[in-house]
Amino acid sequence: MDNLYCAREPVSGIPMLVWPASMKISGLFVMGAAMSSALLMGESDYRRSGDDHFYNLEYDAAIADFVRLIAQNPADPISYNRLASAELYREMYRLGLLDSSALGPDDRFLRDQRAQADPSARSRFLDALERGRRTAERALGQDPRSKFALYALCTDYALRATYDFMVDKSWFSALRNGSKARGYCDQARKLDPQFIDAYLVLGVFEYTAGSLAWPIKLLTAMGGLHGTKERGIEYVARVAQDGRDDRDAARVLLAVLYHREKHPERAAQILEALMTEYPRNYIFGLELATMYAEAEQPERALGVLKMLVQKAEQNAAGYGRLPREIVQRKIEALEIRQLASDPADASRAWR
């Protein structure tokens, strides 16, 4: 696992929804949360512990908890989505696809070669989704106005779109599944406008549609794809503030959007809170240092990086996987640039 980071640095290690608006839409894609909850039967210790493991990059433990959660209540379709999400992100973590360059303005990910995915991981992922889809459709057959069943289908197809885009690089399949996800979430939102978590997927859709170049935007608007970046960020921020079960996922996505919109200070505020709440996720620290560097605050970036190295030296939980060589190189580059007393140079050195 450690050699995964020789060439790449991971971004967030948390659930994402990748929503391509069309094939190579000016190289734009947005990562957001595809892992959702809105449980039908109330809170669960397995749900809480599974989420905690998930956000701390402990995917094996998260999968074990979600399997127990399904056994506890097989009629809850969201539990299957949680299991599928953990399977998916364990595989993306293994492949090095949680990469900060994928979220940057140059969208390097779109030019990278297709990943060599594990067929057994794909099978487990799709099996969990299929079981969840059938469970959600049965619930919807019993109650066509069930916002929870609709939202379960929304997140089911959002996860499919994520796999299509991130792993298979199947742009049109990702678009089809992403459009289905948006449709189900929109139905849930119309049934209950105060169902805050539903705005997360809708926010991704709005932001992506609003980010298109004008010629493409005119074409896609005729097909029903339209939106604004401002409304997209507003929706995601609403979930980050008031979401019931998807608040953490929305906070991560909001940090991504602030990064894309060149507001690293705002992204840093979110990442600081996430680091406190999920202390075993060293990737939040790597991203926080990146935001400080881009905000031309090299001293704060250095402080975070040195703290990460110190934790690794102390064998702190979760830090055995820290890519220490990469972190050390970044520390050295920032220190060299600092000697020039030019914060902008220090920021460029980071990249």
What pLDDT, on the 0 to 100 scale, is given for residue 231?
95
> What is the predicted pLDDT for the residue at 341?
61
pLDDT at 2: 32
Residue 108: CB atoms within 10 A of its CB come to 15
Rounded Cα distance between 165 and 182, Å, is: 16
- CB burial string 321-349: b at 16+ within 10 A, e below: bbbbebbeebbebbeebbeeeebebbbeb
Q: What is the pLDDT of residue 95?
A: 87
For residue 54, how many other CB atoms are within 10 A of its CB? 28
Strand ranges (E), 166-300: none
Distance CA 341, CA 42 (A): 55
Q: Which amino acid is at 259?
A: H
Q: At what angle do helices 59-72 and 45-55 cross, to 10 degrees?
A: 160
Cα(42)–Cα(47) distance, integer angstroms: 10
Q: Which residues of the chain have pLDDT under 70?
A: 1-43, 99-112, 212-226, 341-351
CA 287 from chain center: how many Å?
A: 13
Residue 317, number of CB atoms within 10 A of its CB: 10
pLDDT digits (tens, 9 = 90+) for 177-192: 988 999 999 999 999 9
* pLDDT of amino acid 228: 86
Lookup: tokens for 325 = 């060589």
- Give dist(CA 27, CA 36) in Å, integer: 27
H-assigned helices in 19-104: 45-55, 59-72, 77-95
Distance CA 59, CA 14 (A): 10
Write down the pLDDT at residue 24: 30
Residue 46's pLDDT is 94
Q: What is the widest separation between alpha-carbon atoms in the chain?
A: 68
Distance of CA 22 to the CA centre of its chain: 19
- The pLDDT score that the predictor gives to residue 135 is 98
- Under 8 Å between Cβ of 249 and 33: yes
For residue 226, what pLDDT is reported?
62
Select from 188, 165, 190, 189 the least CA-distant residue to 176: 165
Who contacts 344 (Cβ-Cβ below 8 Å, separation ≥6)?
296
Tokens of 134: 């059938």
